Amino acid sequence: QRVNVTVRSGLPMVLAGSAEPCAQLLVSSIGVVGSAQQNQAHSARFFDFLTAELGLGPERIVIRFYPLEPWQIGKNGTVMTFL
């Protein structure tokens, strides 16, 4: 219920000066991504999954973490602060 995934394949991307296949994962969450320690643990799990599923080397993957506040996410006609 609290996870949304969007996949956009076939986009032209350049990573580290190379147009070889690559992936970028954007992760935003309330209270789950915020500290270096939290994101280091998440990063390890995401990299394990993405390298196995996509067949990419870890140098071809970038993960961007975005911590959010409950008032920044709207749902069911209100914001998460009140849910």
Q: Which CATH code fits 29-82?
A: 3.30.429.10
In degrees, rounded to 5, the angle at the alpha carbon of residue 13 between the alpha carbons of residues 11 and 15 is: 155
13-68, pLDDT tens digit by residue? 999 999 999 999 999 999 888 899 999 999 999 999 999 999 999 999 999 999 99
State the alpha helices, DSSP H only, in the chain. 36-54
**What single-letter DSSP state applies at residue 10?**
T
